[in-house]
Structure 1
Amino acid sequence: MQAKVKWVDGAQFLGESGSGHSVVMDGPPDHGGRDTGVRPMEMLLLGLGGCSAFDVMNILAKSRQAVTDCHVELEAERAEGVPSPFTKIHLHFVVTGRALKENQVKRAVELSATKYCSASIMLEAAGVAITHDYEIRDSE
């Protein structure tokens, strides 16, 4: 896997993935930015959410669950001072569908957290306390 991050100006950077997709990262005005993109630490949090949600949806599809919507809400705490790494992250999955089986949703969230999500496993290995829960909504 490869990526490239190029400085644009101030605190703005353009990130380009190896697959050719780009994203703007920027800082707040008090740090020389113009607030034109996500913060780098927000990107890390979004990456965790995307990795976990991808796994959960993949597992639920394989178990033939009729999912109509899925999102994950993430809350993170960071250490005081510099550097300020994440210390705690909580992922709350909201899975909507028709006749979803709770045991399948629970299993998908657990498997993502413990076996499949590389981002989650990497952050936990670095000492971040990561917790998960889920909510099931009926789309009928």
Structure 2
Amino acid sequence: MELYSKDEGMRIDLGYGQLDISGDETYGFRPFQLMVASIAGCSASVFRKILDKQRVDVEELVIQTDVERNPDEADRIERIDLHFVIKGQHLDDDKLYKNLALARKNCSMARSVEDSITINETLETIELSR
């Protein structure tokens, strides 16, 4: 992976597109946004694979994030809250929480920062009838 300097940040060209990174949202994604997105995206991907293997009927999975940063430490990310909203049929909260814990153990992004960033995960289920 190579990043290239541009006037207002950095750019990376990937096989599926270009990514602009900047401390100013006008010119690209902010680095903290990319970190939160990578942790949330990895968690969701692993979680979804587990649910698919168990044939849990998920119609939609959305993750809402909240981030706490420390302005006294260069705006360091200290906490990320991931709130999973799951829509489907026959959803079992206890089983979903167990699967979410398993997903966390297998998410490389969450594991990479587990000693420096607190990650809190919560679930909300919306039962769909057919």
TM-score with structure 1 length normalisation? 0.82
**Match of 1:81, SS?**
helix
Shift in Å, 1:21: 4.0
Residue number in structure 2 paired with 1:7: 5
Q: Kindly, what percent of the aligned residue pairs are identical?
A: 23
1:25-44, aligned counterparts within 5 Å?
25-28=21-24, 35-44=26-35
Q: Unmatched 5+ residue regions in structure 2?
A: none
Choose from 59, 64, 80 the match for 2:71.
80
Matched, 1:136 2:121: no
CA distance in structure 2 between the aligned counterparts of 1:25 and 1:139, rounded to whole angstroms: 39
Q: Is the 8 A contact 1:5 1:14 kept in 2?
A: yes
Q: Is the 8 A contact 1:55 1:108 kept in 2?
A: no
CA distance in structure 1 between the aligned counterparts of 2:57 and 2:97, rounded to whole angstroms: 15
CA distance in structure 1 between the aligned counterparts of 2:50 and 2:36, rounded to whole angstroms: 21
**Match of 1:87, SS?**
strand
CA distance in structure 2 between the aligned counterparts of 1:137 and 1:112, rounded to whole angstroms: 20
* Corresponding residue pairs, total: 129
Aligned AA (2:22):
D
Q: Is the 8 A contact 1:5 1:15 kept in 2?
A: yes
For the aligned residues, what is the CA RMSD?
Answer: 1.8
1:90-109, aligned counterparts within 5 Å?
90-109=81-100
Aligned AA (1:83):
A
CA distance in structure 2 between the aligned counterparts of 1:72 and 1:83, rounded to whole angstroms: 26
- Greater Cα offset, 92-101 or 51-60: 92-101
**Match of 2:74, SS?**
coil
Matched, 1:124 2:121: no
CA distance in structure 2 between the aligned counterparts of 1:27 and 1:40, rounded to whole angstroms: 7
Q: Is the 8 A contact 1:60 1:104 kept in 2?
A: no
Shift in Å, 1:112: 1.7
The 1:4/1:139 distance shift into structure 2, 3 A limit, reads: farther
